[in-house]
Amino acid sequence: MADLAGKLGLIVGVANKRSISWAIAQAAAAAGARIALTYPSERLEENVRELAAKLENPLVLPCDVTKDEDLAALAASLDREFGGLDFLVHGVAFAQAAELSSPFVQTSREGFRVALDVSAYSLISLARVAAPLMEKRGGGSILTLTYLGSQRVFPNYNVMGVAKAALEASVRYLASDLGARNIRVNAISAGPIKTLAASGISGFSSILQVYRERAPLKRNVELAEVADAAMFLLGAGSRAVTGEILLVDAGYHIVGL
């Protein structure tokens, strides 16, 4: 386990106790980091605060990643409360339900815009406000979450696969852009996990079964395993790693048939 004692981290995308972002938040807190969590709306505030109460001395802040004024306010609050930032975990993704149930060719212009804005552009906008805070601490680590649907076709993943492809390209460009400031940018591509977001994808149980049958390890991955990989990418052990997409999927991605 990485040693994150004294580190200051922002984790965006914690929605419920089954989310990957929450597993990472718990692991980072257990490793000694102080954590700030965000909530996008009043409807989700109570749930995020309830989870944050399980952490030691957490900071809970509002932030709708589609609003520049919220991002500016978030940066100001972090500067005031933390005085800097060591790491950022970006776990935000969203596509309208209709875009995940209709044929991909029927993707609407608005559905495409929303998916790309929330799921991909938000990494860029968050990196932009986090970078000055990380420079105050001598550098930092930015981590996002993606999926193999960025490279291969999965049933009903549709526009989210396109958004994840854009997200992964953004990781590479941000890594190149921010490297001179000692800021690393990486992503974890986890195997399918029964999160609330995954439940919105029709046929998700079948995807889980295929992974169990075909992955070299003959099983699905667990939240704790993804969180452990995140600790590596957030900690000093990965200080020379940037621009990478780390596959944590029991080896499924290497299999042809």
Contact yes or no for 208/249 (Cβ under 8 A): no
SS3 150: helix
SS3 75: helix
**At which residue do the structure tokens 């106790």 appear?**
17
**Among residues 157, 173, 211, 252, which one is catalytic?**
157
239 Cβ contact partners less than 8 Å away, ≥ 6 residues apart: 184
Alpha-carbon gap, residue 158 to 117, rounded angstroms: 15
**Among residues 39, 121, 147, 252, which one is catalytic?**
147
Alpha-carbon gap, residue 239 to 197, rounded angstroms: 31
Tell how far CA 254 is from the center of its chain. 23
Q: Name the residue among 68, 71, 52 with its Cα closest to residue 60.
A: 52
- List beta partners, residue 88: 10, 142
Q: Is 211 a catalytic residue?
A: no
Contact yes or no for 199/230 (Cβ under 8 A): no
Q: Is 173 a catalytic residue?
A: no
Catalytically annotated residues: 147, 157
